[in-house]
Structure 1
Amino acid sequence: MAPRTWVILSDKRGDNGQVDTIVDALPWPVEHKYVHMLPAYVLGKPRYRPSLDHLDLSQSDPIEGPWPDLILTVGRRPSMVALWVRKQSGERTKIVLIGKPSGYMLDFSLVVASAENQMPPMHNFLPTTLPLMRVDAQDVAVEAQAWQERFAPLDKPLIAMLIGGETNPFIMNRQVADDLVATAHWIVDDLGGTPYVTTSRRTTPEVIEVLRKDLPPQAVFYQWSVDSEENPYRALLGSADGFIVTADSVSMMVEVIYLHKPLAIFPLPGGWLGSADQQRRSLAHWLFNPRQASAWDRWRHRMARGVYYLDVFKLLCATRDFRAFHRLLVEQGLAVWSGEPFRQPEARLPDDVGAVVKRIEALFP
């Protein structure tokens, strides 16, 4: 008999897409529960605990019995709802959390997180290579068709330069802006192509100003704006011959990879504080990813599990190592470094979704 399954989601489309990717692969039906936050908690973080106090119950789907056997969820706020439901069920409900937990890993029956997340190798943790994101290839194709006349006159190859922004441990300063300009000139002078440069919500004003002033005349520059009605991003996903993505933007890298397009990673500096913080992230990666090929690796695996109980302030157990993720993509043939020749990815993508479904099924022997 199939377990009664709820999917508890909020308004974050990217997060929701990861859960729905799993839902589509499950061999049994599910019931979706969409929850909406009170105004104070749309951006503000509620204290993490089993609770419905942060919800706007008048706008949310009913959260009431009969209680489910299984909940799939993602994110801090929906996972608090899942924990509350489990409490009402007499601790019977099993919870599968997608992504890094805000609380303790062992609060959940299964935690699924992609390779940039550094998590202790506990018994309930399943790492995946890539985030379980969805890319609607049909939607991308429609956008590409709509922009075809605008892209047609541009010299080929058309190279999309997707610029993110500052996020710990990375910084974006004048040197980064100058390096981006140099990369655009390389596309024009060495490849004979067109750099199509797009910024994002997080791109710093200093970088935007330098790009606007110093990009080669052959470049096309799009500055992100909340009021813009014509963002070329999805059209570029379907039309560009190659992509250069700044190191902070995991989601954009993953979308390119899922579309089997050539990807180059543009490294970003960390500044003195970010460089120091990278040591913490690198330590977490070293500690939590033993290959168990030797007695030393097996000892490190046991030590990593012990750190989970000692790391009260989550200095190691709730961090991300972007640089390790970049190296993984390059080692697996899914990306190159910016400035290297573009390469059509030949590596087969891992069946992460299949592995997740098997682990979920194993929760109900």
Structure 2
Amino acid sequence: MESPVNALPASPLRVWVVSDGRAGIENQGLGLAEALGALRPIALSVKRIGWRGQMGALPWWLNPAPLRALAPGADIAPPWPDIWIAAGRATLPLSLRMRRWSKGQTFVVQLQDPRVPAGAFDLVIPPKHDRLQGENVVPIVGAPHRVTPARLAADYARFEDQLALLPRPRVAVLIGGKSKAFGLSAERAAAMAHEIELPVAQEGGSVMVTFSRRTPDDAKALLSARLRHLPGLIWDGEGDNPYFAFLAAADYVLVTEESTNMTTEAASTGKPVFILKMEGESLKFRLYHEELERLGAARPFGGAFHSWTYEPLAETERAAAEVLRRFDDRAGNG
């Protein structure tokens, strides 16, 4: 029997990616949608939602008429999509009603742990370290993302003039910032800069540094000042972000421990990934990092670089294949 993920439908599947527009959240949905598009023709629409007044701060059950409560510009209206991919707490008032609104025609996928019964959706795709289980739950290592060999190659080509002549080893340094469990003070940033600077200088290598929107200004300034004397490139936030190009050019990747997105993306390259310690502790993140170590993808950074090989993570592709399999089973196409 022909595999359902390769059976071409008569017309593209209409796929919506719905979020509050935050890049880290939206990119998870886009990553899954793009992986679907690699298996099947899709017509993709990106929907960024907001709520009027204080509705966005309320629990989903206190938003009884969400279509009327949406802020202008959300564009959530029929005809409904074939596949709805949503991520983030803000989408719950809509996701929980989509199957009823579409009379069961829309296949509803919710990313992350929605913290409501998983049976309210057709499929929930949480990170494995959230320890969520159920018949319609497909846990994955980390989070869906947009890193593919083609994307890395294309972005490297855009920045090749700035990166090709950097001395090896080239070290991509991906710095996140404050989260519920972790922090990055100026003191920790100074220590981190020292930990990075010494082995890069000893090996005659270079750094490629990028910061997230969550990086505190003082930590960003301190890391930039301490690493600026090394060969390399430090993205200052102006112009196009060379993040994917850095991953493509890197021999090693350093990434702060609080970011599921960045560690998963780094581990999808097949390159050695080292986890940079921040301030704080989290059982969930410890389980996540232990899983990455078990898979051979990442190790704690101990102040020195070394190489190893592993099978690049392909969890986004696995999740996309499972979405299509279940979509086809429900439609009777399996």
TM range (shorter): 0.7 to 0.9
**Contact residue 98 and residue 112 of structure 1 kept, 8 A:** yes
Partner of 2:16: 8
Farther off after superposition, 213-222 or 241-250: 213-222
Tell me, yes or no, if the aligned pair for 1:187 and 1:195 is still in contact at 8 Å.
no
String of CA shifts for 1:272-299, please: whole Å, max 9, x gaps. xxx4xx3xxx3xxxxxxxxxxxxxxxxx
Identify the residue that residue 133 of structure 1 maps to in structure 2: 145
Q: Distance in 2 between matches of 1:157 and 1:115?
A: 32
Contact 1:160 / 1:197 at 8 angstroms: preserved in 2? Answer: yes
Q: Deviations over 1:285-315 (max 9, x none)?
A: xxxxxxxxxxxxxxxxxxxxxxxxxxxxxxx
Asked if 1:232 corresponds to 2:242, the answer is yes
Using the TM superposition, give the Cα deviation of residue 161 of structure 1 relative to its aligned residue in structure 2, in angstroms: 1.1
Q: Aligned partners of 1:102 and 1:6: how far apart in 2?
A: 27
The 1-side partners of 2:164 and 2:108 are apart by 49
Aligned residue runs from structure 1 range 207-286, under 5 A: 207-215=219-227, 217-220=229-232, 222=234, 224-225=236-237, 228-270=238-280, 275=281, 278=282, 282=283
Give ranges in structure 2 of 5+ residues lacking alignment: none
TM-score w.r.t. length of structure 1: 0.71
Residue deviations 1:44-79, cap 9 Å, x none? 445414631343566615325xx67x6432124444
- Number of the residue aligned with 1:338: 301
Partner of 1:197: 209
1:356/1:53 Cα in 2 relative to 1: closer, same or farther (>3 Å)? same
Match of 2:239, SS?
Answer: coil
Q: Tell me, in whole angstroms, the C-alpha distance in 2 between the residues paired with 1:333 and 1:41.
A: 47
Distance 1:247 1:87 in 2: 40
SS in 2 for 1:155: coil
Question: Are 1:160 and 2:127 an aligned pair?
Answer: no
Q: Is the 8 A contact 2:173 2:207 kept in 1?
A: yes
Q: Measured at CA, do residues 230 and 38 of structure 1 come closer, stay the same or move farther in structure 2, by a change above 3 Å?
A: closer
User: After superposition, what is the alpha-carbon deviation per residue over 1:78-110, rounded to whole angstroms, capped at 9, x for unaligned?
Assistant: 443343332335567653323221533231232
Is 1:18 paired with 2:28?
Answer: no
Name the CA shift for 1:324/1:175 in 2 (closer, same or farther; >3 Å): farther
Residues in 1 aligned to 2:232 and 2:36: alpha-carbon distance in whole angstroms: 39
CA distance in 2, matches of 1:136, 1:42: 38
Which amino acid in 2 is paired with 1:143?
D
User: SS state of the match for residue 53, structure 1?
Assistant: helix
- Over the aligned positions, Cα root-mean-square deviation in angstroms equals 3.5
CA contact (8 A) 2:224 2:234 kept: no
Q: Could you tell which deviates more after superposition, 164-173 or 139-148?
A: 139-148
Q: Which moved more, 1:166-175 or 1:78-87?
A: 78-87
TM-score, normalised with respect to structure 2: 0.77
Describe the SS at the equivalent of 2:203. coil
Unmatched 5+ residue regions in structure 1?
Answer: 283-320
Q: Deviations over 1:163-190 (max 9, x none)?
A: 1101121111234213322222233343
- Where 2:139 maps in the other structure, the secondary structure is strand
Measure, in 1, the Cα distance between the counterparts of 2:43 and 2:241.
34
Aligned residue among 55, 78, 83 for 1:63:
78
Identity %: 23
Bigger Rg over Cα: 1
- Residue in 1 aligned with 2:198? 186
Which stretch of structure 1 is more off in the superposition, 125-134 or 140-149? 140-149
| SS of residue in 1 equivalent to 2:306 | coil
Distance 2:101 2:107 in 1: 12
1:81 corresponds, among 94, 111, 131, to 94
Q: SS where residue 296 of structure 2 aligns?
A: coil
Q: For this pair of structures, how many residues does the alignment match?
A: 311
Query: What is the alpha-carbon distance in structure 1 between the residues aligned to residue 240 and residue 102 of structure 2?
Result: 48
